[in-house]
Structure 1
Amino acid sequence: MENEPLIDDALKTELSALYQAGDRHYHSLAHIEAMLALAGEYRRLLHDPEAVKAAIWFHDAIYDSRAKDNEAKSADLAKKKLAGRASPDRIARIAAMINATATHQLPPLSDEKAANDTALLLDMDLAILGAEPDAFDAYEKAVRREYGWVEEPMWRAGRAAVLKSFLARPHIFHTAEFRQRFEAKARQNLERSLATLQAG
């Protein structure tokens, strides 16, 4: 059961349609595909790869840049759509992973395997921060377009606060593998972006 895909073709089609909405410039199907590729690459480190894949598919399913409860709504959608496809316990784990993407802080999980999978999911979600400068800049522009309704001074202040909060963490990434691969580049990208925002 554990290795059976939780997301069948019908569900993929349904979720893909949500990710292809016109107002999604970064939180799109390409973001999901990039995360699924990383999940494939790091599969050996995942305790429940299919649950992680399900969490990837659902984590940005509901996305409105004006809302504060996208992750909670996405987790609720996952619970509803996965009911009967997995045990209640497994669905609860998937929902917890989705909710963790709201803050990118590791929630207190007593289950070590669930904590490990959540840490890897969060790192996959933030891997873009450690991308090559061109890819990172394209990501920043895409996020700005998603917040097109925010006036420039407000945007600069808000975005700078987000970037500073990541830079203030002892580590941006939770796992040794992602730290080794992306941490240094992510800090360079964030510092460069912050300097641009602050220069106005």
Structure 2
Amino acid sequence: MNELPLAAAALGEQFALYLSALSNNIEPAQARLLWQDIAAQYGATQRAYHDLNHLRQLFVQFEQVKHDLHAPSIIALALYYHDVIYEPSRSDNELRSAEYAFAALRPYLRLPQCQHVYALIMMTATHQLGELSDPDKVSDTAYMLDMDLSILGTPWHEYQQYAQAVRQEYHQVPLADYRLGRTQVLTALLSRSRLYLTDYYYQRLEIQARDNIKREISLLLNL
């Protein structure tokens, strides 16, 4: 049995629940349409990593930490929309995804809620907390960003599949250019004092993630 349609259905049901938790003026049919739109975006043929499997992996993580979140439904919606627009050849995917989410959710959510989702998605461009001052938002944002990078700390065979999928998304880029660009991205990650902002993810994934990144860099340099 193909698990992806089942996973997509479950993701759609969860999406409706999180949206309904924040809005009392949305009908089930409207939530289904919003989800179908999200699923169509993530199901685009050019996606090999930033697809519905990526969302599924994120919500496995979400289930593990949601009890520590102050605004779990907001974080969930930001996760759903954070890669809704993804074109490897462009550098403004986060901005376009944030704008897309804002436009889609504004008819149903209050303005501050939409602004919060927008800001969360924008932070996935740098995976840095920036100048947040609200302790609850700082904590929630840190968890969300760590969830998005949790793939880096998976066992090597899973990380390999991730790295191969990323390369597939950039298949149009010549190998030499890809090797240079990808190595720069990975080296920049390694230069951070810590990859994971929360103690939860730092303690569980930091060492494995750094080992994986170093191993990928080594493979890239020997291609």
TM-score bin, normalised by smaller chain: over 0.9
Cα deviation 1:127-181 (Å, max 9, x = unaligned): 0000011110000000000001110111111100101001110000110000011
Paired residues for 1:35-74 under 5 Å: 35-74=58-97
Does the C-alpha gap of structure 1 residues 110 and 2 become closer, same or farther in structure 2, counting only changes over 3 Å? Answer: farther
Cα deviation 1:42-77 (Å, max 9, x = unaligned): 011111111011000100000000001000000001
Deviation of 1:10 after TM superposition, in Å, equals 2.4
Separation of aligned partners in 2, 1:70 and 1:156: 21
Deviation of 1:189 after TM superposition, in Å, equals 0.2
Equivalent in the alignment of 2:124:
101
Separation of aligned partners in 2, 1:96 and 1:113: 14
Code of the aligned partner of 2:213: L
Give 2:115's match in structure 1, choosing from 65, 81, 92: 92
Is residue 2:34 matched to residue 1:17? no
Deviation of 1:38 after TM superposition, in Å, equals 1.1
Code of the aligned partner of 1:69: D
Separation of aligned partners in 1, 2:108 and 2:62: 21
Give 1:130's match in structure 2, choosing from 146, 150, 153: 153
- What is the root-mean-square deviation of aligned Cα atoms in Å? 1.6
Unaligned runs of 5+ in 2: 1-17, 24-29
Local SS of the residue matching 2:193: coil
Cα deviation 1:61-112 (Å, max 9, x = unaligned): 0000000100000000111011032221111111111001111111211222
Code of the aligned partner of 1:25: A
8 Å CA contact retained: 2:78, 2:118 = yes
Give 2:141's match in structure 1, choosing from 101, 118, 121: 118
Equivalent in the alignment of 2:211:
188
Separation of aligned partners in 2, 1:32 and 1:108: 27
Separation of aligned partners in 2, 1:192 and 1:101: 24
8 Å CA contact retained: 2:154, 2:208 = yes
Separation of aligned partners in 2, 1:85 and 1:8: 10
TM-score by length of 2: 0.86
Deviation of 1:119 after TM superposition, in Å, equals 0.8
Does the C-alpha gap of structure 1 residues 144 and 2 become closer, same or farther in structure 2, counting only changes over 3 Å? Answer: closer
Give 2:184's match in structure 1, choosing from 138, 158, 161: 161
Cα deviation 1:173-196 (Å, max 9, x = unaligned): 110000011101000100000111
Unaligned runs of 5+ in 1: none
8 Å CA contact retained: 1:52, 1:121 = yes
After TM superposition, what 4+ stretches of structure 1 lie above 3 angstroms from structure 2? none
- The structure with the largest alpha-carbon Rg is 2
Equivalent in the alignment of 1:4:
21
Local SS of the residue matching 1:84: coil
8 Å CA contact retained: 1:131, 1:182 = yes
Code of the aligned partner of 2:142: A
Instruction: Between 181-190 and 34-43, report the one with greater CA deviation.
Output: 34-43
